[in-house]
Structure 1
């Protein structure tokens, strides 16, 4: 945790490759000082077939799953900074958004916990 999963149209890779985008999202998440960099995970899912408002416009949407405990203000700052970074990297992509979901510490489990 945290997990940042970016869904996007494949055509955004004309501007930047996946490795660069992953690095930029990682660095932006680190810059918020909300997470230990060793815990940050970033992935990208690209789509060839999609619809945005019944149109075929480029899009980026970041889904963040983070451990509970951050304030609403911290989560809003995280979203704002990530979206701002993506807008800078992709000024011609009209649809860029992010949402954050909290998961409970009580129900979280990973390999080292079993």
Structure 2
């Protein structure tokens, strides 16, 4: 926890490499001060086709799933920092967004928690 998944059109990697962008996403998550580095997971899902507003256009959307307990302000600052970075890396991609969803701590379980 947390999980960051960037969905994007495949063509965005013509401008900036996939490994570079996952490293940047990880750094923004670390710089937020909200997470332990060992807990951050980052993945990318490129799509060969997609429509934005009915047309074939490049897009990036980062989905973040984090443990509950952060303030709305903290989550908004994380989204703004991520969109700012991606906008700098991909100046030709007009459709860049991020949203943050929360896991409920009471119902979350992972393998380490099983003992």
After TM superposition, the score normalised by the length of structure 2 is 0.97
Quote how far apart the aligned CAs of 1:81 are. Answer: 0.3
Matches within 5 A, 1:20-35: 20-35=20-35
Aligned to 2:56, the other structure's residue is in SS state coil
Give the gaps of 5 or more residues in structure 1. Answer: none
Cross-structure match for 1:8:
8
Q: Does 1:43 align with 2:43?
A: yes
Q: Deviations over 1:36-84 (max 9, x none)?
A: 1111100000000111111111000000000000000000000000000
Could you list the structure 1 runs, at least 4 aligned residues long, displaced by more than 2 angstroms after superposition: none
Please give the alpha-carbon distance, in whole angstroms, between the structure 1 residues aligned to 2:8 and 2:44.
8
After TM superposition, the score normalised by the length of structure 1 is 0.98
Please give the alpha-carbon distance, in whole angstroms, between the structure 2 residues aligned to 1:74 and 1:45.
25
Quote how far apart the aligned CAs of 1:35 are. Answer: 0.7
Q: How many residues align?
A: 114
Cross-structure match for 1:63:
63
Give the gaps of 5 or more residues in structure 2. Answer: none
